Copies of this chain bind each other. A is one copy, B any other.
Amino acid sequence: MENDKNLDNLRHSCAHLLAAAVLELWPGTHNAIGPAIENGFYQDFDFGDVKIVEEDLGKIEQKMREILATWDNFQIKEVSAAQARKDFAYNPYKLELAEEFAKEVKAITETVQGNFLDLCKGGHLENPKQGIKHFKLLSLAGAYWRGSEKNKMLTRIYGTCFPTQKELDGYLNMLEETKKRDHRKIGKELGLFVFSNLVGAGLPLLTAKGATVRRELERFIVDEELKRGYQHVLTPPLAKVELYETSGHYPYYKDTMYPPMNVEEEKLILRPMTCPHHFMLYKSQPRSYKELPIRYAEISPQFRYERSGELTGLMRVRMFTLSDAHIICTPEQAKQEIKQALNLTDFVNKTFGLVKGKNYRFRLSLGDRNEEKKYFKDDVAWEKAENTLREVLKENNEPFFEAENEAAFYGPKIDIQMKNVSGKEETAFTVQYDFVMPKRFNLKYIDKDGKEKEPVVVHRSSAGAFERLMAFLIEHYKGAFPVWLSPIQVQIIPITDRNIKHAQNILEQLNSSNIRAEIDVRSETMQSKIRDAQTQKIPYMLIIGDREEKEDTVAVRTRTGEDLGTMKLDQILDKIIKEIELKSS
Contact = CB atoms under 8 A, between A and B. Distances in A.
A412 interface: no
Contacts of A203: 236, 238-239
A277 interface: yes
A196 interface: yes
A224 to B, nearest CB: 13
A511 B259 contact: no
Most buried by B among A200, A233, A259: A200
A525 interface: no
A272 interface: no
Contact of A199 (B199, B227, B243, B261): B243
Contact of A261 (B222, B231, B258, B281): B258
Interface in A183-220: 194, 196, 198-201, 203-208, 210-212, 214-215, 219
A258 B268 contact: yes
B258 A196 contact: no
Given A207-B233, A263-B258, A264-B308, A281 B201 contact: no
A83 interface: no
A339 B205 CA distance: 29
A308 B263 CA distance: 10
Given A205-B233, A281-B194, A511-B227, A200 B268 contact: yes
A232 interface: yes
A240 B259 CA distance: 14
A307 interface: yes
A239 B237 CA distance: 16
A75 interface: no
Contacts of A231: 207-208, 211
A447 interface: no
A222 B211 CA distance: 12
Contacts of A258: 261, 263, 268
Contacts of A236: 199-200, 203-205, 319
A235 interface: yes
B205 A280 contact: yes
B263 A234 contact: no
A239 B198 contact: yes
Nearest to A198: B243
Contact of A206 (B200, B234, B246, B319): B234
Contacts of A72: none
A214 to B, nearest CB: 6
A233 B211 contact: yes
A234 B210 contact: yes
A284 interface: yes
B266 A259 contact: no
A212 B234 CA distance: 9
A293 interface: no
B242 A277 contact: no
Contacts of A511: 227
Nearest to A269: B261
Contacts of A313: none
A262 interface: yes
A367 interface: no
Given A233-B207, A235-B206, A240 B305 contact: no
B199 A239 contact: yes
A214 B240 CA distance: 24
A49 interface: no
Nearest to A306: B264
Give 9 nearest A-B pairs by CB, closest first: A208-B231, A196-B280, A206-B234, A203-B236, A194-B284, A211-B234, A199-B239, A198-B243, A205-B235
20 contacts: A194-B281, A198-B246, A198-B276, A199-B240, A200-B239, A200-B268, A205-B234, A206-B233, A206-B234, A207-B233, A208-B296, A215-B222, A227-B511, A236-B319, A237-B301, A238-B319, A261-B261, A261-B270, A264-B307, A265-B308
Interface of A: 194, 196, 198-201, 203-208, 210-212, 214-215, 219, 222, 227, 231-240, 242-243, 246, 258-259, 261-266, 268, 270, 276-277, 280-281, 283-284, 296, 301, 305, 307-308, 319, 511
Given A200-B236, A264-B308, 17 more contacts: A196-B283, A198-B239, A198-B242, A199-B235, A199-B239, A199-B280, A200-B266, A203-B238, A205-B280, A205-B281, A205-B284, A207-B281, A208-B296, A211-B233, A212-B232, A259-B263, A261-B261
